[in-house]
Amino acid sequence: MSQNIEFDLTTEYVELCNLLKLVGLADSGGRGKTMVAEGMVKVDGVIETRKTAKIRKNQTVLVENHTIQVK
C-alpha cells in the first residue's frame, strides 16, 4: 500500500537526507544518507544519489511505497 506524505516547506529548500528524517522515513540524517546512497530515493521520477540534493517546492520524492509531495 502506498502512502502519500505532504511536507510544507517553510524555507527555500531542504536537503534530501534531512527531508527523509523530517517526515519520519529515516530515523536519523545518517540513515537518510544511506538510503540515498543505496539508490532507494527518486526525485521527480529519477534516482537521486546526491545526499544533500536541494529539494524545493513542487518536487516529488519517492521512497519505496511512500510519495512525499513538497508544498
pLDDT in tens, 17-64: 999 999 999 998 899 999 999 999 999 999 999 999 999 999 999 999
Q: In angstroms, rounded to a whole number, what is the distance separating the alpha carbons of residues 4 and 49?
A: 22
Q: In angstroms, rounded to a whole number, what is the distance separating the alpha carbons of residues 16 and 56?
A: 10
Give me the torsion for CA of 36, 39, 43, 44, rounded to 10°. Answer: 180
Task: Considering the domain delimited by 3-70, tell me its CATH architecture.
Answer: Roll (3.10)
pTM for the model: 0.92
| Ranges of each domain in the chain | 3-70
